């Protein structure tokens, strides 16, 4: 009797609307390690998958943006808890995707968990920083508060498959937006596994949607989509970024241009405030 | 499906034969129960197979425009107001203000008391006014009340009347009662088109759907309609398929063409296109016209408009760019 086990290979699918569908197109593409070895086949999302993801994100928006900031912070912290419990798996995936040493990969996963906790803490504090009681010449309260922009699509950084991904997605969702993220084309596997963590961690379905595939194929559909309100070009190659920014003008999306960013460094508030809009209300002073 | 009808071959149903059928409850029952049974697995497999048909590019653009022209834009809420009906009529006349090439819908469907509002708002346009009647949606009222309800709608100017059948009577086998009621309503309708709502969600079996379809057609219905939209499940593809077979066979037998209207639960362009594929494949191209096939819907129109916008601009549209109704 043989004691050798059959290999149980994992099917890497998309994460859309809280479920794990295959690409509507039925396509997949091979993902290789930095060293060149075959890792797995990942789903190759089509424009229709992108559209479906936007629909899912739009559907999730009222519930998520209407949740209390405190609650959103708790949910994101829960994601960090679960990611912490699966550090070993993510370290392996990051190591294969980015060609790091075992120790460096573990450090990247730790940084990703810490990044989530950092952003989770900001959930119910960012409004105090960005909001204001404005002085006006009249018997009115004049209050500025920040509100989420809506559906934000992000192209995750190409090189940093997990830390970079979390660094672009966390500020989007913690401020009450919902996200569609196109994972790194070359290293999409940690993103799909992150979807599994999100699916089991109180994040309502549709709040984060993960697409894998060719960035140049998915991104134009997202950039031109009239029901998308923000576009993060972190992982867009230079020539494509310009084209996407042009496509984004049709409905005046907020665009975050790509820039050389050190994902390991403390992020600051730029990404948080970028996906917030300011609402100012006047209210008569009561007597 | 052209299997012989028990005791009555297709092609020989003339008015005299119908007189014989309705001479008693028993003979009507004998005829309806003599209709070939529906193969449930087969019809579901057939409609599932047709639903995979891919309709793309120019064919899709034409199908979308056809679907828009087939819509009975419907509002049947207790909270309907004249203002809401007027805005719906404005939308029926010009579905997409940003694109004047968008065709108009077939009709606006409202409750009888709001017919005058719709008639006034649609004055001068080819969009018809349809009104539900006969104690919609339950149909649980005495015949004089149902007839008064219908007469009221017709007097107010409705071009089309959507009546509900008495499902209680149908399910307990009192077919002649259902037949007489449809006839009576048809007489009151005068010139107005009569659509007979079978409420298939309450009929339980496909066999019953087929029988109810024949009954409604024999009684003189100009259209057979799946549902009120108030009962779930509403219009499903297999049910529509059975009804399309019925109108096809009925025309073969009598020479009279009857329309079909699925209503309720058709919300996306994909659903609508699947219905159109079924119409073409089952009843035939003759039915691919707003005169013979309608889609009872409200939110479907917005989805069709978004798809039109996508086809025109290449950009996916969103709910921010269509009216909220």
Provide the residue count of chain B: 325
Closest to A184 in 3D by CA, of A167, A201, A205, A203: A167
Provide the residue count of chain A: 287
pLDDT given at position B4: 38
CA distance B148 to A240: 67
Query: What does the H/E/C string look like for chain A?
Result: CCCCCCCCCCCECCEECCECCCCCCCCEEEEECCCCCEEEEEECCCHHHHHHHHHHHHHHHHHHHHCCHHHHHHHHHHHHHHHHHCHHHHHHHHHHHHCCCHHHHHHHHHHHHHHHHHHHHHCCCHHHHHCEECCCCCCEEEEEEEEECCEEEEECCCCCCCHHHHHHHHHHHHCCCEEEEECCCCCCHHHHHHHHHHHCCCCCCCCEEEECCCHHHHHHHHHHCCCCCEEECCCCCHHHHHHHHHHHHHHCCEEECCCCCCCCCCCCCHHHHHCEEEEEEEEECCC
Q: What ipTM describes this predicted complex?
A: 0.84
In chain A, which residues have their Cβ closer than 8 Å to the Cβ of B316?
Answer: 51, 54, 221, 224-227
Coil/strand/helix, residue B246: helix
Cβ separation B315–A227 shorter than 8 A: no
Residue B3 clears pLDDT 50, i.e. is over it:
no
CATH number at residue A171: 3.40.605.10
A85 in any annotated domain? no
Query: Could you tell me what percent of chain B has a pLDDT over 70?
Result: 95
Q: What is the number of structural domains in chain A?
A: 1
Nearest CB neighbour to A221, from listed B309, B316, B317 = B316
Cis peptide, bond prior to residue A68, ω within 30 of zero: no
Cβ separation A227–B314 shorter than 8 A: no
CA distance A227 to A151: 8
Smallest Cα distance from B313 to chain A, Å? 10
- The structural architecture, per CATH, of the domain B32-67+127-296 is Alpha-Beta Barrel (3.20)
Mean pLDDT of B219-225: 96
pLDDT in tens, B15-26: 678 888 888 899
A191 in any annotated domain? yes
Nearest CB neighbour to B318, from listed A221, A227, A247 = A227
A279 in any annotated domain? yes
* Closest residue in B to A55 (Cα–Cα): B318
In chain B, which residues have their Cβ closer than 8 Å to the Cβ of A225?
Answer: 315-316, 318
pLDDT given at position B17: 80
Smallest Cα distance from A224 to chain B, Å? 6
CA distance A161 to A157: 7
Best B267, B305, B316, B319 member to test A by mutation, with max A CBs in 10 Å, is B316
In chain A, which residues have their Cβ closer than 8 Å to the Cβ of B315?
Answer: 224-226, 247, 250
A276 in any annotated domain? yes
Instruction: Report, as residue numbers or ranges, the catalytic residues of B.
Output: 162, 225, 261
Domain spans of chain B, in order of start? 32-67+127-296
A170 in any annotated domain? yes
A7 in any annotated domain? no
In chain A, which residues have their Cβ closer than 8 Å to the Cβ of B309?
Answer: 226
Nearest CB neighbour to B318, from listed A221, A226, A247 = A226
Cβ separation A225–B315 shorter than 8 A: yes
What does the pLDDT profile of chain A (287 residues) look like in tens digits? 678 999 898 999 999 999 999 999 999 999 999 888 999 999 999 999 999 999 999 999 999 999 999 999 999 999 999 999 999 999 999 999 999 999 999 999 999 999 999 999 999 999 999 999 999 999 999 999 999 999 999 999 999 999 999 999 999 999 999 999 999 999 999 999 999 999 999 999 999 999 999 999 999 999 999 999 999 999 999 899 999 999 999 999 999 999 888 999 999 999 999 999 999 999 999 86
For A136, the domain range is 40-66+126-284
pLDDT in tens, B242-251: 999 999 999 9
A57 in any annotated domain? yes
């Amino acid at each position: 009797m043989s004691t050798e086990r059959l290999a149980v290979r994992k099917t890497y699918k998309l994460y859309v609307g809280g479920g794990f569908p295959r690409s509507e197109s039925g396509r997949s593409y091979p993902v290789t390690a930095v060293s060149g070895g075959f890792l797995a086949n990942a789903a190759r999302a089509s424009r229709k998958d992108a559209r479906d993801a936007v629909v899912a994100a739009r559907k999730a928006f009222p519930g998520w943006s209407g949740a209390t900031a405190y609650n959103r912070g708790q949910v994101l912290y829960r994601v960090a808890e679960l990611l912490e419990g699966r550090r070993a798996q993510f370290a392996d995936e990051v190591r294969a995707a980015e060609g790091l040493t075992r120790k460096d990969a573990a450090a990247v996963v730790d940084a990703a968990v810490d990044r989530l906790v950092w952003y989770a803490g900001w959930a119910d504090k960012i409004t105090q920083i960005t909001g204001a009681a404005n002085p006006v010449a009249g018997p009115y309260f004049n209050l500025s508060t920040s509100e989420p922009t809506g559906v934000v699509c992000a192209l995750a950084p190409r090189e940093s498959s997990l830390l970079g991904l979390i660094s672009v997605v966390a500020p989007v969702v913690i401020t009450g937006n919902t996200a569609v993220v196109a994972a790194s084309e070359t290293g999409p596997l940690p993103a799909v596994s992150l979807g599994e963590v999100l699916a089991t961690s109180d994040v309502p379905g549709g709040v984060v949607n993960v697409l894998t595939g060719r960035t140049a194929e998915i991104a134009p559909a997202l950039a031109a989509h009239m029901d998308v309100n923000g576009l993060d070009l972190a992982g867009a190659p230079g020539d494509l970024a310009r084209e996407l920014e042009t496509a984004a003008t049709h409905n005046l999306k907020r665009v975050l241009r790509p820039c050389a960013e050190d994902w390991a460094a403390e992020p600051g508030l730029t990404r948080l405030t970028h996906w917030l809009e300011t609402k100012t209300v006047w209210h008569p002073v009561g007597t | 499906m052209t299997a012989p009808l028990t005791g009555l071959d297709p092609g020989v149903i003339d008015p005299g034969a119908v007189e014989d059928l309705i001479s008693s409850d028993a003979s009507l029952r004998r005829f309806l129960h003599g209709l070939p049974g529906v193969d449930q697995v087969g019809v579901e497999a057939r409609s599932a197979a047709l639903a995979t048909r891919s309709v793309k590019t120019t064919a899709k653009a034409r199908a979308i425009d056809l679907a828009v022209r087939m819509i009975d834009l419907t509002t049947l809420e207790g909270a309907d107001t004249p203002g809401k009906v007027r805005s719906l009529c404005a939308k029926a006349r010009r579905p997409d203000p940003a694109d004047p090439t968008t065709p108009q819908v077939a009709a606006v469907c409202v409750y009888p008391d709001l017919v005058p509002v719709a008639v006034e708002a649609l004055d001068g346009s080819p969009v018809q006014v349809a009104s539900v009647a006969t104690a919609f949606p339950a149909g649980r009222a005495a015949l004089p009340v149902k007839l008064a309800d219908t007469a009221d709608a017709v007097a107010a100017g409705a071009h089309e009347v959507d009546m509900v059948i008495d499902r209680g009577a149908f399910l307990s086998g009192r077919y002649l009662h259902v037949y007489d009621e449809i006839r009576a309503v048809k007489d009151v309708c005068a010139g107005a088109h009569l659509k007979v709502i079978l409420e298939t969600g309450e009929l339980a079996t496909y066999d019953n759907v087929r029988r109810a379809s024949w009954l409604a057609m024999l009684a003189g219905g100009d259209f057979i309609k799946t549902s009120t939209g108030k009962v779930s499940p509403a219009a499903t593809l297999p049910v529509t398929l059975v009804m399309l077979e019925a109108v096809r066979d009925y025309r073969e037998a009598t020479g009279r063409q009857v329309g079909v209207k699925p209503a309720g639960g058709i919300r996306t362009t994909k659903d609508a296109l699947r219905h159109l594929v079924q119409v073409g494949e089952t009843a035939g191209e003759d039915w691919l016209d707003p005169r013979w096939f309608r889609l009872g819907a409200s939110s479907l129109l917005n989805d069709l408009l978004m798809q039109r916008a996508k086809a025109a601009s290449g950009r996916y549209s969103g709910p921010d760019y269509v009216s909220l109704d």
